[in-house]
Amino acid sequence: MKYNVENGAERIVSRSPHVETSPMKNKGRWHEIFGNNNPIYLELGMGRGDMIVNMAKQNPDINFIGLEINESQMVNAVTLLRSMNLKNIKLINTDARNIADIFDKEIDTIYLTFCDPWPKEEDEKKRFTHESYLKLYDRIFAGDRKHIILKTDNKGFFTYSLERLSAYFYIFNKVSLDLHHEEMPIKNVMTNFEKQYAKENRPIYYVDARYPR
Ligand SMILES: C[S@@+](CC[C@H](N)C(=O)[O-])C[C@H]1O[C@@H](n2cnc3c(N)ncnc32)[C@H](O)[C@@H]1O
């Protein structure tokens, strides 16, 4: 079933104990909200959220936050979480543009997974690796350490992102032009889009970017 405003996505999402409905109130308090000092990983544009839910299940010593602008997409994650009793995951329904109002130097890793590539030049500012977003990330990363993991099927967006990250002094720990056919140091957990692309045998581009190394 496809969820939308008419058939209750808003209600389902806002009533979930995993969804933070006033996330700006938690700015600077996310470790307190999770009840520990474990690292916090944030996924922007989580969509249906399979990756972040499964990562939370597999990594109880890491806190995860999935952010998504479209509440009907979030119903899947909310439904998955109902039966799981996970304490290390929160979801937020908002525009990624708001992150600096929600977090204050609390995020250890940002996941950008299969984000909309916005190929038209006039839409460049909407790309999650545009300099305006990289500046926002600086405001939410814990301390001076930055860490972004990006996965995409879009070669143009990938090339653009490598250029932008490099110009912003990120260092590439690992780059892959075909993630699913390479030995990786860390187990890859697939997103919903990624599962579909894997079936189609499309190459997945990947970068693990840090500053400093
Ligand atoms: C192509 S989908 C990928 C979803 C998921 N990451 C995956 O790999 O399955 C991109 C997602 O980003 C969300 N999105 C786009 N712009 C956004 C924004 N400014 N803030 C938050 N989410 C956004 C869309 O609603 C959509 O769910």
Q: Where are the domains of the chain?
A: 9-211
Q: Known catalytic residue: 153?
A: no
Q: Which fold has domain 9-211?
A: Rossmann fold (3.40.50)
Ligand 1 pocket residues where CB is under 6 Å? 44-48, 67-70, 73, 95-97, 113-116, 191-194
Pairing of strands 171-176, 40-44: unpaired
Distance 85 CA to ligand 1 centre (A): 25
- The answer to whether 56 touches 86, Cβ cutoff 8 Å, is yes
Position in ligand 1 atom list of the atom nearest CA 126:
19
pLDDT number for residue 152: 98
Res 212 pLDDT > 90: no
Position in ligand 1 atom list of the atom nearest CA 97:
19
The rounded mean pLDDT for the chain is 95
pLDDT number for residue 6: 57
CA distance 74 to 85: 17
Res 74 pLDDT > 90: yes
Position in ligand 1 atom list of the atom nearest CA 46:
6
Q: Which of 61, 95, 104, 116 is an active site residue?
A: 116
| Stretch 29-49: mean pLDDT | 98
Q: Residue 69's pLDDT band (boundaries 50, 70, 90)?
A: very high
Q: Residue 172's pLDDT band (boundaries 50, 70, 90)?
A: very high
Distance 202 CA to ligand 1 centre (A): 19
CA distance 54 to 48: 12
Look at ligand 1, atom 27, and give the residue with the nearest C-alpha.
Answer: 47
pLDDT number for residue 107: 98
